[in-house]
Amino acid sequence: MAHVAEVRLGHPFRGAIPEVPDGSVHVVQISDLSRTGLKHRTDLLTTELPGRKQPDWLLDQDVLFIARGAHTYASLITDPPPCTVCTPHIYIIRVTQPDRLLPAFLAWQLNQPPAQRYLRQSAEGSRQLSIRRGVLEQTPIRILPLAQQHAAVELDRLANAERGHLETLIKNRETELALLAERLLA
C-alpha cells in the first residue's frame, strides 16, 4: 500500500486531551468512528493545541484506521470540520495517487477479510492487539480499474443503507411489541 498512500499517526497528544468548550480544534477519537465514517460530527471533542507548529489537519477523503483493540477497521472521512485532528491511536492514510486508487475503495478493501486476516496475523500484543505502522503500510492491496472500484464502493454504500433500514424496522417492531405487552399485561 505504501506505493499509493502515505500512513502517519494522529496528533501526538501527551496524556488526556483537555476538553475546551468552544475550542478551535476538533478531535476525532476511536469512539467517534464507525466503518461508514464519523458517527456524529457535531459531538467531537473540542480543545486547543499548544505550540506554534501547525498540525496536520484531517482532509476530505482521508482514511482513518483504528489500529488498536479487538476490531481494527478503516473509515473514510468526508468533509471533516475545519481544524480537525485525530488521536495518536488512529492512523491517517492519505492516498497519493487518487487517479489510480479511490480512497473509498482503499477503506473498503482494508475492511475486507483478506486484509483483515493479514492485519490480525501481523498484530502484536497479548492483551490488546496493536498494528504497527510498517505492517499497515505493507498490507497487500489490489488496484482494480477505477470503474470496478466505483462499483464496489457503490455496492458497499447500498448494503450499508439496507442494513440501516433493516435496523430501523427491527427497532420499530420491538417498540410495537413493547407497547402491545404494556396494553395486554397492565
Which CA distances in Å does 168 have to 24, 114, 131? Answer: 35, 30, 34
Q: Residue 153's CB: how many other CB atoms inside 10 A?
A: 19
Q: Does the pLDDT value for residue 186 go beyond 90?
A: no
Cell numbers found for residue 8: 502517519
Which pLDDT belongs to residue 70? Answer: 78
Pairwise CA distance, residues 109 & 98, whole Å: 15
- Kindly report the backbone phi and psi dihedral angles of residue 92, in degrees, each rounded to the nearest multiple of 5, phi listed first: -105, 125
**pLDDT digits over 136-145, tens only?**
999 999 999 9
Q: Does the pLDDT value for residue 51 go beyond 80?
A: no
Q: Does the pLDDT value for residue 135 go beyond 80?
A: yes
Give mean pLDDT, residues 73-79.
Answer: 94
Q: Does the pLDDT value for residue 19 go beyond 80?
A: yes
56 confidence band (pLDDT: 50, 70, 90):
confident
State whether the Cα torsion 98-42-40-115 is positive or negative. Answer: positive
Sort strands 5-9 and 45-47 into parallel, antiparallel or unpaired: unpaired
Give mean pLDDT, residues 50-67.
Answer: 89
15 confidence band (pLDDT: 50, 70, 90):
confident
Which pLDDT belongs to residue 63? Answer: 97
Nearest to 90 by CA among 125, 61, 65: 65
Q: Give the global pTM.
A: 0.87
Which pLDDT belongs to residue 74? Answer: 95
State whether the Cα torsion 142-147-151-154 is positive or negative. Answer: positive
Which pLDDT belongs to residue 41? Answer: 80
Give the list of residues 6+ apart from residue 179 with CB closer than 8 angstroms, or none. none
**pLDDT digits over 93-111, tens only?**
999 999 999 999 999 999 9
